[in-house]
Amino acid sequence: MADLAIASPSEAAAESAAQLRRGRMLSVGARCALPVAILLGIGFLAPLVAIFGYAFATPRSFDVFASFTLANFATLFDTSNTVWLSFFWSCGLALLTVAILAVVAYPIAYGLNLVFGRWSALISVLFVFPLFVSENVRLYGWVLFFIKSGVLDGTLKWLGLPGGPEVLYTPGITLFGMVYTYLPFMLFPMTLGLALVPRDLVDAARDLGAGRLFIWREIELPLAMPGILIGMLLTFVLAIGATAEAKILGGQSIIVISHDIEIAFTYSQNWPLGSALAVVVTFFIGALTLFALSKLDLDRMLGRR
Amino acid sequence: MGHKRTNAAIWSWTLFVLVAIYLPIVCGALASFNKSRYFGFPIKTYSTEWWQKTLDSIEIGMIVKTSISIALLVTVFSVVIATFGALAFARYEWKGRKLYQKLILLPIFFPQPVLGLAMLLGFNAVGIQTSWMTAVFAHMIWIVPVVTLVIAIQVYGFDPSLEEAAYDLGCSRTQVFREVTLPLLWPGIWSGMLFAFLLSWSNFPLSLYTTGADSTIPEWLYAKMVAGYTPMVPALGTMATLGAAGLLLAGGLVGILLRRRAAA
């Protein structure tokens, strides 16, 4: 207010021009967002509405929006339904994936920020590249590695050792596959998060005599938290929806929740039941994502000055 | 001093993880050069027979063409939409921006197999026959948000006063967009294009439900992994990987040139 009182006429004019420009930018921003909004409205929201509609349709029918019944949800919430076992497996594996990845990715994220120097860019690219190779191909590579008389087994035998362990088609290898597939999704948000930690703060703490563990716990970790949380959320959500690992490496030794949804849609031809299950999963993931995202400032994360 | 030791530990851990990441890709490449139909290691006879068969196959040729068509169309459409999306995300101050920034992330956080099924349902509900063209649309739902983020990072680093100076000098909005905004954003847009093409190229879960009778490379590979393995599976997989690597390398070089020109 005080600034306004002493503003000269020319400054006031500049002020109103800036206001005008801000007004123009407001509409420009909304207009720029329009194509994305339309695309996601048709391609993301509408299918979810369709799934929602199917979830309340008569079981084993295709009368979407024509019938209304809660029978599908009743089937799901029936305690004898094995779908809860799948849900439990998916959640458990996802939680373990997140926990393991946090430990695996942290040193690398730290290195990308502070240790690798001019090698950082190359190392980042090497971690991004696998995203451009279909996960089928990469997971199948592990099958070739672990399979009987595969790369591991063959090499060990060639060396005169008893041969590799039989790890394929177990829940453990499914977890391994998930950790493998989702590493970049933990690594990059974590790297962004660690980049937010001001180094002079750490130096100041060190000068004042703080130990390394103390600095890590009291400064680095809390300040990098937004990035770490995004990474954890992203890996958790993707791992909940993962199917390829359980199918290719796990050999269907466990059925994960997305696989159950697929089964309902394909083999059992029960679209309404599959939809009801998808609705439950969508609500679970949606609530979790929106809750976590509401706590984050994306402008700061992605580097707005 | 423990500092050096920590750094060495971080280096070795990172290199170890990198080796693990590329190990299965190497295993696939090895299997593709195995002469006998079934894989056994160490490989007794190496041959390029399966590579030749893969290159000669008419069926695979069509599948590769489908994959390329989808990826090209996805790239073109996604980048146009995402460039504006990124400006709305990072450049302009507007009322719904904070909400928009979060909503646009939802498709990325959504399990792709379920998204693919939901879209199949959606197409079915409005009576659209699925084919490779519906897959283009399906890929875009996931790729446009990713590309928007990629371009947004470039937008954050750009100085809005350059645009305003152009306005003050009397440029029209289209002129400013063409002469100032676009050239400054080119490096980000280029990265976005690479992401769009390569993510579409490697996508499996969305293609599975939305390509109808057509098939993409990852779909074909999966079908053969489940039933009917031949060394053509790792051969095509390795070719797809090499193709992606070549594109990334060439694209990266162009990107470096673009960045250098933008900085000059």
Contact B244 A154 (CB under 8 A): no
Do A298 and A211 reside in the same domain of the chain?
yes
Q: Which CATH number fits the domain that encloses residue A268?
A: 1.10.3720.10
Is the confidence at residue A23, as pLDDT, over 70? no
Same domain, A91 and A47: no
Distance CA A231, CA A150 (A): 34
* Residues A8, A88 within the same domain: no
Classify residue A65: in a domain, yes or no: no
Q: Do the domain assignments include residue A267?
A: yes
Tell me: do A49 and A162 sit in the same domain.
no
Q: How many CB pairs under 8 A join A and B?
A: 285
Kindly state whether A201 is in contact with chain B, defined as any CB-CB distance less than 8 angstroms: no
Residue A34 has pLDDT above 60, yes or no: yes
Would A61 be classed as within a structural domain? no
Q: Whose structure tokens read 């490697």?
A: B202
Per-position DSSP letters for B134-171, written without gaps between them: HHHHHHHHHHHHHHHHHHHHHHHTS-HHHHHHHHHTT-
CB contact under 8 A, B240 and A149: no
Distance from CA of B30 to the nearest CA of A (A): 9
Q: Is residue A140 a part of any domain in this protein?
A: yes
Model confidence over B190-219: pLDDT tens digits?
999 999 999 999 999 999 999 999 999 999
Same domain for A85 and A215, yes or no, is: yes
Alpha-carbon radius of gyration of chain A: 26
Inform me whether the pLDDT recorded for A22 exceeds 70.
no
User: Mean pLDDT over all residues of chain A?
Assistant: 86
Helix extents (H) in B33-57: 49-56
Question: Considering CB atoms only, which of B24, B107, B244 is closest to A145?
Answer: B24
In the block, residue with structure tokens 């206001």: A19
A80/chain B closest Cα distance in angstroms: 24
What's the average model confidence in pLDDT over B7-25?
96
Per-residue confidence band for A12, with pLDDT thresholds at 50, 70 and 90: low
Place of tokens 């979810």: A48
**Residue A20 — pLDDT band, cuts 50, 70, 90?**
low
- Give pTM, 2 decimals: 0.89
A157 and A266 share one domain: yes
B31 contacts on A by Cβ (under 8 Å): 144
Are B217 and B242 in contact by the 8 Å Cβ rule? The answer is no
List the domain range (segments joined by +) for residue A172.
76-302
Indicate whether A90 pLDDT > 60.
Answer: yes
Where is pLDDT greater, at A13 or B93?
B93
Token pair 């029209």 is at which residue?
B172
Task: Please give the backbone phi and psi of residue A210, each rounded to the nearest 5 degrees, phi first.
Answer: -75, 140
- A37 and A142 share one domain: no
Residues A28 and A170 in one domain: no
**Which residues 150-179 in chain B show a CB within 8 A of chain A?**
152-153, 156-157, 164
Indicate yes or no: CB of A135 within 8 angstroms of CB of B237: no
Total of domains in chain A: 2
Domains of chain B: residue spans and CATH = 57-263 (1.10.3720.10)
In Å, how far is A5's CA from the nearest CA of chain B? 27
- Tell which of A93, A131, A133, A271 to mutate to test the B interface (max B CBs under 10 Å): A133
Closest CA to A189 of A133, A243, A238, A142: A238
Report d(CA B22, CA B245) in Å as an integer: 13
Contact flag A33-B88 (C-beta cutoff 8 Å): yes
On whether both A5 and A120 belong to a single domain, the answer is no
Residue A206 lies in a domain: yes
Residues A165 and A19 in one domain: no
Query: How far is A171 from chain B, CA to nearest CA, in Å?
Result: 19
Does the distance separating the beta carbons of A21 and B164 come in below 8 Å? yes
Whether pLDDT at A6 is above 60: no
The sign one gets for the Cα dihedral A74, A76, A82, A88 is negative
Q: Are A133 and B240 an interchain contact pair (Cβ–Cβ within 8 Å)?
A: yes
Please indicate, yes or no, if residue A68 is contained in any of the structural domains.
Answer: no
Is A241 in contact with B112 (Cβ distance < 8 A)? yes
Residues A38 and A135 in one domain: no
Is there a single domain that holds both residue A46 and residue A138?
no
Residue A64 in domain: no
